[in-house]
Chain A
Amino acid sequence: QKVSVEVLDHLEHLALVDFRNSEGVERLQKAIQFADQLHEINTDGVEPMDSVLEDRWCLYLREDDVTEGNCTKELLENAREKVEEYFVAPPGNIPLPKLEERETFLQGS
């Protein structure tokens, strides 16, 4: 079962991945096939597992104290562009152009 071009295009939009070439798509299809093996097991009435530790994996509850923050300078060191202690980003999401409008091998498929 092949993954359709629509789905591949949808994935590229959602996750901003680039399948780049037929090899990338093939890798995806193999990964799906591998995961599909899970369907061979009957899990009726079985609760999904969160962790192998089961109920020994306790969620730690932290006290409501202020213990972090106040490191503006350090954080801004990672910013390519900044304006007066604000991070700078483009005006909005720049969506991936539609399939017909961008250069991708998916068009050929």
Chain B
Amino acid sequence: MAARGCGGVWRRARQRSAGGPGPGPAPSPRGQRAVACNSRGGAVPAGKSGLAPWIPVVGLEIHAQISSNSKLFSGSQVQFAAPPNSLVSFFDASLPGTLPVLNRRCVEAAVMTGLALNCSINKKSLFDRKHYFYADLPAGYQITQQRVPIAVNGSLSYSLCTDNKMSQMVTKTVRIKQIQLEQDSGKSLHDDTRSQTLVDLNRAGVGLMEVVMEPDMCCGEEAAAAVRELQLILQTLGSSQAVMAEGQLRVDANVSVHHPGEPYGVRTEVKNINSIRFLAKAVDYEIQRQIEELENGGKILNETRAFDSKLGCTVPMRDKEAKQDYRFMPEPNLPPLILYDAKSLPANMNHQQVINIDWIHKRLPDLPSVKREKLVEQYGILPEHSFTLLNEDGLAEFFESVVKQTQMKPKKVIGWILNDLLSYLKQHSLTVEESPVSSFLLADLLNLLERNKISSTAAKLVLAELWKGEGKTPLEIVKEQKLELLQDQKELEQICQAVIDGQENEVIMMVPG
């Protein structure tokens, strides 16, 4: 059972015992891990009788792989699937004598993202080394931006539906603490049978933007909605393709719980979350686990846990020592990164060496929130509709294409897109791109309906036929299945009379076409 909106306060349901605060909804069955907070701060799944309510606190650390041809500090290629260790330069392999050289495109991607998230862009940012030993980190340190990152103090607005019908949307905001540029590590493949790890450095050195979100969220659904919106923004900007399945977007959640008025509780870090859906599950499970642990008199350890998607729970991670000391130090091979704006543009510098924040700002595309508003304004559809249109890859374009090709009003077209087209695609796990019904065919069908050539019931039948993708046009199907609405009054009367004559004892209702 998914939450719809978060009041931020979880309260244990009271069992029948003396005293205690007011009633809440009935306790949910034991063992249920889903969040059950609602916008009025209702009850949480039952356990032992609890007293004070719990406030869950969720912060996110998101790593987005930068969409670029080459890596952050070297000229080797960035590509998802390639023969092992074929996209690795001497620098990526940390061979002695190699030095980092910063990729301009990666800086631009980070600036774009910072601007889109309302951040202040630091005109001077610094690079540091973060030290730890692991087989997929050949240098023994990662180059990152710990002291002064490229962007700070931004915000991200996202929407949540407050009920299951998507009729009430509420807007929430999460603060962005910072965005920093850093290197990705290589990939480790664990071979437990032979007790060894195989290392592929193709990913080592790929540029990442780490987006740090303040702990302003309170449940799995908020975290999922925020990440989804960030994903859409990154994809719109083109700074990252942000496909979680390909590791281009990785999310770690920091979760803690505390009583109102008390200081924040000990937090745990949850890793190994591979989809937005699992993010919501992992966060909710961890909140629930911490509440139960504390209510049973236990303590929360400041540890790193992994989400097990098969079991739907978090488990302590092996190989993670209790307290890591990264011994940050300035990266001695890189001077500060200086960015300019229209005012501070240097006169005599090579253009290729100058990054102008204002120039980038001017060229930012419409962000999803702006696109949604424009759809609502232009077509008179509801905000919830435009939310769904943008949430599905290619759906907004499909909708606009149909509207262009039909006389039917957009407000009516949207119903066919969201109810009929989208549900069919979902049922068959197809993307909009894979739809057997093109925008042209759908527009053609809607035109027949709009011109009263067929009824809407008939239109649904035609659509069902069109899904088969047999190449027939709507008109052909209508003729084949004799679905035309009869316009001739005399013909209608004859048919009615014949039916009535044949069924004298029955009452038949005929709706004229």
Q: CB of B470 within 8 A of chain A?
A: no
Query: Contacts of B196 on A, CB cut-off 8 Å?
Result: 83, 88-91
Query: Contacts of A86 on B, CB cut-off 8 Å?
Result: 84-85, 189, 198-200
Query: Contacts of B84 on A, CB cut-off 8 Å?
Result: 72, 84-86
- Contact of B104 (CB < 8 Å), options: A14, A64, A72: A64
- Contact of A87 (CB < 8 Å), options: B76, B107, B199: B199
Q: Which stretch, B67-75, B161-169, B503-511, touches the partner chain A?
A: B67-75
Q: Which stretch, B30-38, B296-304, B333-341, B436-444, touches the partner chain A?
A: B333-341
Query: Contacts of B80 on A, CB cut-off 8 Å?
Result: none
CB pair A62 B195 closer than 8 Å: no
CB pair A66 B76 closer than 8 Å: yes
Q: Which stretch, B13-21, B86-94, B356-364, touches the partner chain A?
A: B86-94
CB pair A83 B334 closer than 8 Å: no
CB pair B198 A61 closer than 8 Å: no
Chain B nearest CB from A10 CB (Å) reads 7
Q: CB of A76 within 8 A of chain B?
A: yes
Q: CB of B139 within 8 A of chain A?
A: no
Query: Contacts of A64 on B, CB cut-off 8 Å?
Result: 68-70, 103-106
Query: Contacts of B488 on A, CB cut-off 8 Å?
Result: none
- Contact of A72 (CB < 8 Å), options: B86, B102, B330, B338: B86
Q: CB of A50 within 8 A of chain B?
A: yes
Chain A nearest CB from B281 CB (Å) reads 27
Given known A-B contacts A67-B75, A91-B197, A92-B197, A51 and B83 have beta carbons under 8 A apart: no
Chain A nearest CB from B143 CB (Å) reads 13
Given known A-B contacts A65-B75, A69-B89, A91 and B192 have beta carbons under 8 A apart: yes
Closest B residue to A51 by beta carbon equals B335
A66 to B198, CA, bound (A): 26
CB pair B330 A60 closer than 8 Å: no
Binary interface profile of A, 85-106, with partner B (CB < 8 Å = 1, else 0)?
1111111110100000000000
A66 to B355, CA, bound (A): 21
Query: Contacts of B336 on A, CB cut-off 8 Å?
Result: 50, 59
A16 to B294, CA, bound (A): 37
Q: Interface majority SS on A: helix, strand, loop or mixed?
A: loop
CB pair B75 A66 closer than 8 Å: yes
CB pair A90 B135 closer than 8 Å: yes
A57 to B321, CA, bound (A): 39
CB pair B327 A14 closer than 8 Å: yes
CB pair A75 B88 closer than 8 Å: yes
- Contact of A59 (CB < 8 Å), options: B88, B89, B335: B335
CB pair A65 B201 closer than 8 Å: no
Query: Contacts of A10 on B, CB cut-off 8 Å?
Result: 325
Binary interface profile of B, 164-202, with partner A (CB < 8 Å = 1, else 0)?
000000000000000000000000111110011111110
Query: Contacts of A51 on B, CB cut-off 8 Å?
Result: 335
Binary interface profile of A, 69-83, with partner B (CB < 8 Å = 1, else 0)?
111100110100001
CB pair A93 B88 closer than 8 Å: no
A65 to B333, CA, bound (A): 21
Interface residues of A in 1-29 (CB under 8 A from B): 10, 14-16
CB pair A72 B327 closer than 8 Å: no
A72 to B105, CA, bound (A): 26
- Contact of B190 (CB < 8 Å), options: A57, A66, A91, A93: A91
CB pair B68 A58 closer than 8 Å: no
Chain A nearest CB from B117 CB (Å) reads 22
CB pair A71 B88 closer than 8 Å: yes
Chain B nearest CB from A73 CB (Å) reads 9
Chain A nearest CB from B387 CB (Å) reads 34
Q: CB of A36 within 8 A of chain B?
A: no
CB pair A60 B101 closer than 8 Å: yes
Chain A nearest CB from B192 CB (Å) reads 7
A16 to B131, CA, bound (A): 12
- Contact of A63 (CB < 8 Å), options: B85, B87, B192, B352: B352
A70 to B89, CA, bound (A): 8
Q: CB of A68 within 8 A of chain B?
A: yes
Given known A-B contacts A66-B69, A88-B196, A90-B135, A72 and B88 have beta carbons under 8 A apart: yes
Pairs across A and B, CB under 8 Å, 6 listed: A59-B335, A61-B352, A72-B86, A78-B93, A87-B201, A88-B198
Q: Which chain A residues have a beta carbon within 8 Å of chain B's beta carbons?
A: 10, 14-16, 50-51, 53, 57-72, 75-76, 78, 83-93, 95
Apart from the given pairs A75-B90, A88-B196, 11 other A-B contacts in the complex at a CB distance below 8 Å:
A16-B133, A59-B337, A62-B103, A64-B69, A64-B106, A66-B76, A72-B84, A75-B85, A78-B93, A91-B191, A92-B319
